[in-house]
Amino acid sequence: MSLKDFYSNRADNFTLALAILISLCELLEFYHENDYVYLDVKPDNIFCLTRLSGHPTGEISFFDFDTVQLIADLKGGKWSAPRGSIGYAPREQRNKAEVRNITAQSDIYSVGATLHWLVTGNKPNAEDDLLSNHATYEWKPKKDLELTFLEKSIIDSIFSNTLQDSYLERYKDMASLIAELNKLKDASKVKILSNNLTHDEEDSYIITRKKDCKRINKALEKTGKYTIWGTPGLGKSELAKDYARHTFGKAYDTIIFLVVDGSLSTAITSELQVKRGSILQGNELDDRLKLLEGTDERTLIILDNYTEVDPDNELEMECYNVLFRKGGHHLIVTQRAPSQEKQIKPLSKAKLIKLYFMNRGKDFYCKDEEEFLKSHFLEVIESHTLVLVLVARLLTNSDYTLRQLCDDLKGNLATLDDGPDSEAETTIDYRKREGTYAIHIARLIDLSSLSADAARLFSLLSMVPAKGVDRKLLSQLCTADDFNKAAFNNALSALVKLGLAQLSFIEGNKQEVVLHPLISDIAAGLLEEGEVVEGYLERLLDYLVERSLNNH
């Protein structure tokens, strides 16, 4: 099939199309070495050789040889070939008076024009008048082709050295063009993949902070760095994702979202994947740092759960210097309070109420609950976003009422505050307590009455990295013994319904199972208030020990 037919049907396979183009150049180089020029390079005339399966091999042949000319004849003024195709033929080929200027650089122009078609979907805009200026090469990639800044830079350079009116301003030989196309091929087959900035089914539940996003953008444009800090569970990470996904993401060529679980080097190694073609490479930190060094000012790097780097740790400082080098925007999400940066505050009452009803279920609304939220409940939970979502999900999947749950949370706080033998206070100033959100979350987990399977899965998830775990891998781990596939799916479904776990879609249909870091901490018993799930951990440890014994 022709390159035009192949690429029109498989526009996603840009890397293979480049391999075909490089094969074309190598064939043209053979022609030039033998003092011939082809003079009609275009997608219709490039024949892609295929295997029996019909899949292209990357090797090519030509359809049409009517235009092939001996360079010596052209220098002598002989002209017997067609003039080539508008848009793909250079000026000297379309103007018979300039026939002596036809050289290898004429084919080089046509290769550049073919690349233009590959990346834009159109041939260069050349005028029909034979004496017109050269084809313009101001270009935009077509919608279904995603190019990095590095790829765009290389393509710009190729166009500047191929689509020139004067043959003297083009590459001097085909070898120079092949070298640049190989650079482009290497850049195109190496991608940085970040597994955390995803779109999932819950995107419709996002309550945007447009004013905060505008404030962040203004600061990033001015200084290149901005920090969002505050209490866990108020939506700091979601604000950063909202900024990148829905608000200002189109301003960047590359967006990298890293969950830093105490180490920059670990986050870079485990969360950034280097992909060559369809193959994921090993975990070499140096490869990832080199790719990060190749990003530019149109890159947004989001560091979630960030803590300050130890200046005495050489490896961490090397990673820090690469990530925070000059250029690009850096959005930092942390619990610690830096100087003169943005502390995220709870959403407004109106937005919190909207968030609550969105999580109560489609089209659910209750006037009494809205009034109770406004007058009392939001103050009880300190307008904490994560607590509110968990409350809404629990009420949707249980027989509790909002007032009953409110009394339970208040009573639980009072009991923890005064000890089991003292009487609970009738009034508590919730705004002055620190960490009440953790106590609330631990209690809500307890009230969820998880089944044994859901509890075991929940405990296992509390030990996975903050970025989450592949659903298929998790299923294989859990279903190795008596925890069958149906039980796993039911347990996971229960956790998602209760808001204790989230499913994020990555690279098409691939799914990651993610726990909010605060929920994960409580589930793992890392907070004193999280002992309510201690039994779950015991069951998980028994399960892992039993598996280990069985395997040996």
Q: State which amino acid sits at residue 300.
A: L
Task: Check pLDDT > 80 for residue 449.
Answer: yes
Where do the CATH 1.10.10.10 domains begin and end in the chain? 452-551
More confident residue, 417 or 214: 214
Mean pLDDT, to the nearest integer, of 450-469? 76
CATH match of 452-551 with 3.20.20.20: no
Residue-wise pLDDT tens digits, 331-390 = 888 876 665 466 777 788 888 898 898 888 877 889 999 999 999 999 988 888 889 999
CA atoms of 317 and 125, how far apart (whole Å)? 49
Residue 409's closest CA among 380, 372, 375, 445? 380
Residue-wise pLDDT tens digits, 461-501 = 877 666 677 788 778 767 655 678 888 889 899 998 998 88
Give the pLDDT of residue 180: 92
Residue-wise pLDDT tens digits, 255-273 = 888 888 778 888 887 766 5
CA atoms of 323 and 317, how far apart (whole Å)? 10
Residue-wise pLDDT tens digits, 292-348 = 776 777 788 888 888 888 888 999 999 888 888 777 888 888 876 665 466 777 788
Percent pLDDT > 70 in the chain is: 71
For the ranges 194-198, 227-231, 494-498, 534-538, the maximum mean pLDDT occurs at: 494-498
375 burial level (CB within 10 Å; 0-12, 13-18, 19+)? exposed
Radius of gyration of the chain (CA): 31
Please give the distance of CA 172 from its chain centroid, rounded to a whole number.
40
CATH of domain 3-191: 1.10.510.10
Helices 104-120 and 14-33, interaxial angle, to 10°? 170
Instruction: Report the 10 Å Cβ neighbour count for 228.
Output: 25
Superfamily grouping for domain 195-343: P-loop containing nucleotide triphosphate hydrolases (3.40.50.300)
Give the pLDDT of residue 433: 42
For the ranges 154-158, 476-480, 536-540, the maximum mean pLDDT occurs at: 154-158
Mean pLDDT, to the nearest integer, of 506-523? 72
CA atoms of 539 and 478, how far apart (whole Å)? 13
CA atoms of 266 and 64, how far apart (whole Å)? 55
Give the pLDDT of residue 392: 93
Mean pLDDT, to the nearest integer, of 139-166? 82
Q: Can you say whether residue 519 is alpha, beta or left, with left for phi > 0 and alpha for psi between -120 and 50 degrees?
A: alpha
The band of 276, judged by pLDDT with boundaries at 50, 70 and 90, is very low
Give the pLDDT of residue 79: 66
Percent of residues in the chain assigned helix, strand, coil, to nearest 5: 50, 10, 35
Where do the CATH 1.10.510.10 domains begin and end in the chain? 3-191
Q: State which amino acid sits at residue 89.
A: A
- Judging by DSSP bridges, how do beta strands 329-334 and 299-304 pair with one another? parallel
The band of 406, judged by pLDDT with boundaries at 50, 70 and 90, is very high
H-run or E-run covering 16: helix 14-33
Residue-wise pLDDT tens digits, 10-64 = 545 677 788 888 988 999 999 999 999 988 899 888 887 665 445 555 567 776 6
Task: Check pLDDT > 80 for residue 417.
Answer: no
Task: Check pLDDT > 80 for residue 232.
Answer: no
The answer to whether 39 touches 28, Cβ cutoff 8 Å, is no
Write out the two tokens for 132. 């017109």
CA atoms of 513 and 329, how far apart (whole Å)? 28
Instruction: Point out the least confidently predicted range of 48-62, 123-137, 172-186.
Output: 123-137
Where do the CATH 3.40.50.300 domains begin and end in the chain? 195-343
Please give the distance of CA 220 from its chain centroid, rounded to a whole number.
20
Give the pLDDT of residue 390: 92
